[in-house]
Amino acid sequence: MEFTVGSAIRLGWETFKTRPWFFIGASAIIVLANALSSMLSAVVDVRGTFEDPSLLGQAVDFALSSLVDMGMIAFYLAAHADPETVEMSQLWHPRPYLKYLATSFLVYCVVGFGLLLLIVPGIIAIVVFMFAMIIVIDQDLGPIDAMSESMRITRGYRWPLLGLAAAQIAIGVAGVLALGVGVLVALPVVMISLVHAYRVLLSKAGPPPVETVGSSGVREG
């Protein structure tokens, strides 16, 4: 199967239409969970405010929102595999938490640093590492391995992936403009299209090369 922006978005929409109210409900849970995460962070953050959180508040929010994101990724991995059997309970997926937390932190740092360097390096980093967090959930890899694997499977497809990211942003903006409720439709379409791109490119890239140790003691492969 060839990867194109159109095919990924189309599959996201077609999958959403199989169980529209179910996916809208899942989106509502994700949005509510993120709102509760921000509220709890504000309660813990005695030194900052909701609009201007302190470092502690940001850290708590990052830790809690990561749990929400992990469940969202696990849910949409299952939805892409079989939208008829995915269940709401799959929105709770707290493992592997520390690997996910570390990977998210590293990716955000790399992207943030890249955006400071005239923006373009940051955009490249977004595309190169766009599957890193999915890989942690799907393959249980650590942060460095997940980022390396994302870099490997995106090689040769970075322009189409940039196009996919732009299309997903446009869908998200359209959802917000539709009185906000459109986000409940946009989220599953965007997430399933992202998982689809990941699955297609992973299949095309094949398994990563296996390192072997030769007679000289030097790793080969």
Residue-range definition of the domain harbouring residue 16: 5-204
Please indicate whether residue 45 or residue 79 has the higher confidence score (pLDDT): 79
In a domain, 185, yes or no: yes
213 belongs to a structural domain: no
Q: What is the mean pLDDT of residues 95-108?
A: 97
- Judge whether 197 and 163 are in contact, CB under 8 Å: no
pTM of the predicted protein model: 0.90
- Angle subtended at Cα 145 by Cα 139 and Cα 151, rounded to the nearest 5 degrees: 95
Distance CA 9, CA 19 (A): 16
How far is CA 196 from its chain centroid? 12
Model confidence band, residue 39 (pLDDT cutoffs 50, 70, 90): confident
Q: Confirm whether 216 is domain-assigned.
A: no
Give the total number of structural domains in the chain. Answer: 1
Q: Is residue 60 part of a domain?
A: yes
How high is the pLDDT of residue 130?
A: 97
pLDDT in tens, 166-206: 999 999 999 999 877 899 999 999 999 999 999 999 999 98
- Is residue 34 a part of any domain in this protein? yes
pLDDT digits (tens, 9 = 90+) for 40-78: 888 876 666 666 777 888 888 999 999 999 999 999 999
| Burial of 129 (C-beta count, 10 Å sphere; 0-12/13-18/19+) | buried
Q: Pairing between strand 219-220 and 212-213?
A: antiparallel
Q: Residue 33: what are its φ and ψ, rounded to 5°? A: -65, -40
